[in-house]
Structure 1
Amino acid sequence: MTTVTLGALAAHFGRDVERGLSKALGIIEAARRDGVELLVFPDASIGGYIGDLRAPDPDELPPPLDPHGPELAAIAAAAGDMTVCIGYTEAADDKRYNAAVCLSGDGILGTHRKVHQPAGEGLAYAAGNAFRAFDTPVGRIGMLIDYDKTFPESARTLALDGARIIAALSAWPASVTDRAARLPADRQSRLFDLYDCARAAENQVFVVSSNLTGVTGSLRFLGQAKVVSPGGEILATTRSKGGMATVTVDVDAEIARARRVLDHLAELRPDAYHAEQTVPKG
């Protein structure tokens, strides 16, 4: 039996890159003391997220960073033998991407650019175009960035690529059109938890789900960081507060147990899925 301690963070990160970097380094140090081996930060931890989903202010966009620049190098150095996933705005080819990077003291292990863009997010970021898993010291991992997890195909692609753990980094706010008075009662609060549990259960993998807290512009973020088992059970959660949800598990043993009788990936029937992949009308 080989166990690993998984940690999902709920915290506020704003526009100030240096302040966010300093905060992230402190959290990594504390997580190491607590024995965390995989630490998943929220989306947009370095530089913050946009302040309005429907009409992002072009003068208030998160600063784009070089993926090989000093900020991520500092995160890698602090990570050491830990595996750390963190979100930021990536500068590449004169474009900006809502991106995530997974790294350790050895450098970058994997990257992801958010593929699915809600509302007006396309006005602030270019879209990614792929989902790929990669190997890390804690096993094979895939990453999703907030709205990506709404689409079952995203997590399924990672699971079919061998991901045993899906790191779901989010900047997921309460509803922008019909916000509830209390965050736990908000429609988006329910959906956020539902997607985490569904993506874990349908692929029989672990989901380590992080999220921002606090307010940026018109957006109020939900928190609700959590670790979900291959059976869809929430093993640890921060609820709507800031903090870190941690759990120590035997990843391979738990996945094997979940797949012992019903192995969803092995029992797929792609020959029967003939619906054309087109956007329905209306």
Structure 2
Amino acid sequence: MGTVTLGALAGHFGRDVERGVAKAVGIIEAARRDGVDLLVFPDATLGGYIGNLRSPDLDDLPPALDPHGPELATIAEAAGDMTVCIGYTEADGETHYNAAVCLTGDGILGSHRKVHQPAGESAAYAAGDSFTTFDTPVGRVGMLIDYDKTFPESARTLAVDGAQIIAALSAWPASVTDRAARLPADRQSRLFDLYDCARAAENQVFMVSANLTGVTGSLQFLGQAKVVGPGGDVLATTRSKGGLAKIDADVESEIIRARRTLNHLAELRPEIYPSAADLGAS
């Protein structure tokens, strides 16, 4: 596979799906000119996110899209030989999911429905029930959607299934209960970065983490898109601003090097860990 360019976007996207598609296409075209091979957009890029976590306005929910409809077909056409991960609200009959797809010009390579739901999000979306990995031109990839990365089991499931890169698509806001005067000092700002670095380091994989910026309803999003290496080091970041965090990496070689002495996945002791199901039952 050799060296590839990984990019994570921080940007603002709202309810207007047509405008969101056009903006995403422009970003994809610019990223291609910069040689990006994997481009990860935020959660809710197409159609935006809910405006209140504790009590979403059910009369103002993001529009739900058919994964095989014209919007994602346009994104795929723009992607061409680039691998693009992008978030949207998925319609499955009358059921809506906070979802993401990873695609190229050949179509959808993999998909994910957000499993872990914070606060009142379950009023707006149904929950997904699995974490899966899939092959792409840049390596084996798995996806997480914002709150999913709070739970170590999510990323570990992907890593054990062979993920070399975890694409983390977020609509991650500043604290809704105790917002700091400055975003970099906000508690959620610290946690967002901590989870990115911890999930990469504990699994010795690349984390390509995108996030929304700007404001939707009562939520102010943090940005902080970044690429984290398999040692847990932040290799590129937008900080709290919009933009693209990108790096060149030989993904396979860097992972092999990180695991040369201490190989966390090979040294797991699953026979002595309580299962997640057992913990939930207690």
Write out per-residue CA displacement over residues 149-176 of structure 1, whole angstroms, 9 at most, x where no aligned residue: 0000000000011000000000000000
Write out per-residue CA displacement over residues 173-201 of structure 1, whole angstroms, 9 at most, x where no aligned residue: 00000000000000000000000000000
2:21 is paired with a residue whose SS is helix
Letter in 1 for 2:62: P
Alignment match, 1:111: 111
Letter in 2 for 1:98: N
Write out per-residue CA displacement over residues 186-229 of structure 1, whole angstroms, 9 at most, x where no aligned residue: 00000000000000000000000000000000000000000000
Letter in 2 for 1:62: P
CA distance in 1 between counterparts of 2:76 and 2:145 reads 20
Alignment match, 2:28: 28
Alignment match, 2:213: 213
Letter in 2 for 1:265: L
Alignment match, 2:14: 14
Alignment match, 2:204: 204
CA distance in 2 between counterparts of 1:203 and 1:2 reads 21
Alignment match, 2:170: 170
1:222 is paired with a residue whose SS is coil
2:214 is paired with a residue whose SS is strand
Give the deviation of 1:279 after TM superposition: 5.8
Alignment match, 1:232: 232
CA distance in 1 between counterparts of 2:25 and 2:225 reads 19
Q: Percent identity?
A: 80
**Aligned residue pairs: how many?**
280
CA distance in 2 between counterparts of 1:255 and 1:120 reads 38
Matches within 5 A, 1:129-144: 129-144=129-144
Write out per-residue CA displacement over residues 10-33 of structure 1, whole angstroms, 9 at most, x where no aligned residue: 000000001111100000000000
1:278 is paired with a residue whose SS is helix
Matches within 5 A, 1:1-282: 2-274=2-274, 276-278=278-280
CA distance in 2 between counterparts of 1:69 and 1:11 reads 24
CA distance in 1 between counterparts of 2:241 and 2:199 reads 23
Give the deviation of 1:88 after TM superposition: 0.1
Tell me the TM-score normalised to structure 2 length: 0.98
TM-aligned CA distance change 1:152 to 1:22, over 3 Å: same
Write out per-residue CA displacement over residues 33-71 of structure 1, whole angstroms, 9 at most, x where no aligned residue: 000000000000000000000000011100000000000
Give the deviation of 1:94 after TM superposition: 1.4
CA distance in 2 between counterparts of 1:256 and 1:274 reads 29
CA distance in 2 between counterparts of 1:65 and 1:101 reads 12
CA distance in 1 between counterparts of 2:63 and 2:130 reads 23
